[in-house]
Amino acid sequence: MSEAFADTAASSTDKPPRRRWRLPLAVKMCVVLLVLLTIAGGWIIWRGYRQLAAIEQIERSKSNGFKGEVKCEPIGPAWLRGQMGADRMRMFDRVTDVGCYLESPNPELFREIGNWSDVVRLQIILGETHETEFFEVNTLADFQQLQSERAEQNRETETGFKHLRRLTQLKRLSFQGLSVTDRELDALENFPNLTHLSFEFTPITDATARHFSKLKKLEVLRISETLITDEGLGHISGLNQLKTLDLRRTSITDAGLKHLQALT
């Protein structure tokens, strides 16, 4: 009995181990590479569709007879453009110029625009640029009172301007409309290449003007019909490249103009 048990134990011990099936290293590397390429390709297509959707949304926007506009530099081989069509290929093109006309701030759209790192010109109009009630005012004080009221109404509204800070190649930036307030405009300091800046018919204040001092390449500054005062004007005294300054319909006085002596 004991001998039989010993023989069984010995035979089980002598049985060779079961071979494990393993993929060759080269095959493993190919599988990993294929997965990575699939993920990367999917991400590129997803980003492309988001870009195309944003472009079409901008082109549908309109205000006071103006329609949104997007200009792109085409990229990619000609044969692919021929197959897909120039319009659809804009999902991969390099966006350089944007004109956007919206009734109110759209943070999600501005988030997408913030991804277009090659944009050099950006114009944003939020709301009507000249509303009927403003035609009825007779004095600058009444005009600015209306502006202040609108600014207070929109003071807590998220604008999405913070997403634009990645557009470091911007050279021309224009804001118009009563929905443009000081909120998130500290993003201005991230545009070192800016040469033209315009805030017209916007209720911005000296809180925004203090960011102008960082824009050393600025040549044209338009701040007409804003709430900027003499104090705000002091922040542009060091802009030695400035050639054009528009101060129409502001409350800036002769005392404030003394800040400009260093520019002459």
DSSP states of 190-217 as a string?
G-TT--EEEEES----HHHHTTGGG-TT
Average pLDDT for 184-192: 93
Question: Which residue ranges make up each domain of the chain?
Answer: 26-263
pLDDT of residue 118: 96
The answer, yes or no, to whether residue 196 has pLDDT greater than 60, is: yes
**Cβ proximity of 237 and 263 under 8 Å:** yes
Mean pLDDT check: name the lowest of 41-45, 128-132, 151-155: 128-132
In degrees and rounded to multiples of 5, residue 92 shows phi and psi of: -115, -10
Average predicted confidence (pLDDT) for the chain: 84
DSSP states of 246-262 as a string?
E-TTS---HHHHGGGGG
Q: The domain 26-263: what is its CATH number?
A: 3.80.10.10
Split at pLDDT 50, 70, 90, the class of 59 is very high
Split at pLDDT 50, 70, 90, the class of 40 is low
Taking the model in full, what pTM does it have?
0.79
Split at pLDDT 50, 70, 90, the class of 23 is low
Six-digit token pair at 261?
Answer: 């002596």
Residue 143 and residue 227: Cα distance in Å, rounded? 10
Which of 232, 222, 227, 225 lies closest to 256 in space, CA to CA?
Answer: 232
